Amino acid sequence: MRIYSTSTSYVYSKSEEEESEETELQEDQQRLATPKATWFVDVINDQGKINAKQLRANDVCNLPTNERIGVHWNNETQPIGDSGALLNRFLGSVSRNSNAFPISYFSWRKIPKDYKEDILKNTIQVKFDVHFDVHVNHVLKSLNKKWRDYRQELWQQRNDGTCTRDELITMAPKGIDRDQWDHALKNKENRKKQTIAHTGGSKSLARKRDEMVTILHIFK
């Protein structure tokens, strides 16, 4: 079953205000690199009219202000299909924006709630039709995990175990203020290193199941 998000309200569950290390999100874990260049999605205008469009990642930011991308969801409230993949790609970009979500915070729950609300309302919901509470919660959980993974990635790219702290400070990532990087390093020193290996590929279990169901229907 594919569901569009049409409700106009949302809530934050407790899990969105707490960093849940043990939660395994059944979603795409793809980084920004992907062999796919375009996605076939439904675009909804402010009159409720739906048109099918083929979009590239950069097209999302250039959508007319009266259009939003409809997202397909399965019965487990997971985004699927091309629209789910494009949403995931977009969330990956947002989570890597250090102006939106500074990496200097000790944990996701320490990032002010108004930061998250602003990004949700003025960056994500203006591009994607995501308003049901359960769908919003999924988006926030996804941002949580992607933000944490991004910080871990920055650390692993620069720390080979031989660098001093002063040397690491000089390796501040491009586009990230050195003071913010310095705070991130301090937090890293106070946190037990946790690395979660991902081996499931770029497709979520939800999307894989949906594709298998489609194939089975074709060959019936």
9-23 confidence digits (pLDDT tens): 444 445 444 444 433
Query: Three-state SS for 66?
Result: coil
To which residue do tokens 């375009």 refer?
A: 38
30-75 residue pLDDT tens: 444 445 789 999 999 999 999 999 999 999 999 999 999 999 999 9
Q: CA 56, 138, 4, 64 torsion: positive or negative?
A: negative
Does 193 score more than 70 pLDDT? no
Angle of helix 133-158 relative to helix 178-189, nearest 10 degrees, comes to: 90
pLDDT band at 204 (very low <50, low <70, confident <90, very high): low
Q: How far apart are CA 142 and CA 196, in angstroms?
A: 15
**pLDDT attached to residue 212:** 59
89-134 residue pLDDT tens: 999 999 999 988 998 898 999 999 999 999 999 999 999 999 999 9
To which residue do tokens 């309200």 refer?
A: 9
- What are the phi and psi torsion angles at 2 (to 5°)? -115, 130
